[in-house]
């Protein structure tokens, strides 16, 4: 996939060996702004959406195109407005030939913020995306990354009150501007997530990029598996986290979580209408303590979820001085993936946490 800056539009290319490529003669997506040649809408990403069995494209467009996202004859004379901003657009196809469902899916709320692009992928049963947020204030003009999630690949939530997920460095630092490239999904090696990104040490606008020491390089961010965000306890008393109803499909439950000090997590299994299931009360649950990627919940054989298989249940977690990242149902045992313990001081840093 490429964008032609002369003929203006997004084109597909094909190759039998990955070396010699042939480009389609016509663009598969050309917007009115593309036709008019006054908008730079080149940033885009495409994935094969395994949850929809469709090809999906995310690209930046302008709000002026909200009524019609596909160019028509005569759009070459489309007039440029006084104010131009970038927002996120969407389209999908079952065969890479017939495209449809064009729409705008995300618009920034602040006048000095634009969405320059988004890399998105399927993660289990949800969508995880890295939104490229351009800050256009004259004293800033850089790009950082916010985490977004969705259950349908169209309606996205900017996580953790729109806090920065991958922050840019200070001015003239190697990653003053960050773009997570077109890496379709993170690389996971030994429970460590590797996220590669493009980094620039110059301002986005003006001639700053012409400085002799202005460079574009590759950066790498790493973090333990599933530690994208967390729910963290606030006040000293016990906080409670209850899941939505779901059907039990696998026999064992593991949680990715951390506690500190005297903190702990205990679980119980409820019916859909909030009644405790016999044998699965909090008092009968094991106590989770420490910091690990896979704490087993319910150590006794009688507390395995296979005893409530195919039932619709809720899980209720009672937490104190704790941080909850993720949970997973499994058929096999998981390595605990023990991480360094947290202190109460370290737990105060929660840039990607929501306080319960």
Most confident of 23-27, 48-52, 339-343: 48-52
At residue 146, does pLDDT exceed 90? yes
Q: What is the DSSP string of 137-190?
A: -TTT-EEEEEEEEESSSSSEEEHHHH-EEE---STTSTTSEEE-TT-SS-EEET
Q: Please, what CATH class does the domain formed by 2-224 belong to?
A: mainly beta
**pLDDT tens digits for range 118-129:** 999 998 889 999
To the question of pTM greater than 0.75 for the whole model, the response is: yes
Cβ atoms of residues 129 and 152 within 8 Å: no
In tens, the pLDDT along 161-197 reads 889 999 988 888 898 888 876 666 778 999 999 988 8
| CA-CA-CA-CA torsion sign (134, 231, 127, 223) | positive
Written as six digits, the tokens of 188 are 């996971």
Q: Fold for 230-355, please state it.
A: Hypothetical Protein Tm1070; Chain: A (2.60.290)
Domain segments of the chain as ranges: 2-224, 230-355
The pLDDT confidence band at residue 349, using thresholds 50, 70 and 90, is very low
Do β-strands 113-123 and 2-4 pair in parallel, antiparallel, or remain unpaired?
Answer: unpaired
Are 153 and 52 spatial neighbours (Cβ–Cβ below 8 Å)?
yes
């Amino acid at each position: 996939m490429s964008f032609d800056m002369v003929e203006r539009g997004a084109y597909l290319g094909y190759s039998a060996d990955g070396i010699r490529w042939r480009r389609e003669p016509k663009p598969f997506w050309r917007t009115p702004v593309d036709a008019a040649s006054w908008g730079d809408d080149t940033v885009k990403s495409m994935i094969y959406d395994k949850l929809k069995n469709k090809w999906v494209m995310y690209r930046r467009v302008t709000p002026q195109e909200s009524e019609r996202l596909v160019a028509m004859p005569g759009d070459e004379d489309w007039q440029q407005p006084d104010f131009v901003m970038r927002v996120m657009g969407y389209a999908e196809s079952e065969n890479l030939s017939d495209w449809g469902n064009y729409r705008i899916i995300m618009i920034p709320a602040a006048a000095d913020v634009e969405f320059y692009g988004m890399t998105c992928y399927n993660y289990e049963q949800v969508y995880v995306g890295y939104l490229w947020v351009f800050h256009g204030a004259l004293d800033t003009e850089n790009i950082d990354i916010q985490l977004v999630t969705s259950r349908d690949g169209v309606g996205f939530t900017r996580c953790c009150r729109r806090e920065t997920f991958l922050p840019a460095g200070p001015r003239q630092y190697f990653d003053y501007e960050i773009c997570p490239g077109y890496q379709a999904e993170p690389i996971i090696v030994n429970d460590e997530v590797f996220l590669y990104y493009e980094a620039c040490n110059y301002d986005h606008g003006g001639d700053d990029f012409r400085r002799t020491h202005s460079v574009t390089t590759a950066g790498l961010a790493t973090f333990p598996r599933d530690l994208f965000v967390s729910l963290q306890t606030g006040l000293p008393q016990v906080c409670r986290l209850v899941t939505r109803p779901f059907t039990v499909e696998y026999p064992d439950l593991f949680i990715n979580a951390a506690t500190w000090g005297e903190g702990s997590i205990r679980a119980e299994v409820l019916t859909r209408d909030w009644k405790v299931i016999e044998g699965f009360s909090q008092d009968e649950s094991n106590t989770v303590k420490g910091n690990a990627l896979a704490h087993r919940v319910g150590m006794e054989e009688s507390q395995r979820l296979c005893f409530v298989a195919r039932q619709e249940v809720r899980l209720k977690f009672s937490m104190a001085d704790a941080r909850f990242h993720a949970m997973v149902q499994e058929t096999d045992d998981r390595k605990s993936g023990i991480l360094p313990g947290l202190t109460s001081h370290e737990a105060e840093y929660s840039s990607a946490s929501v306080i319960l």
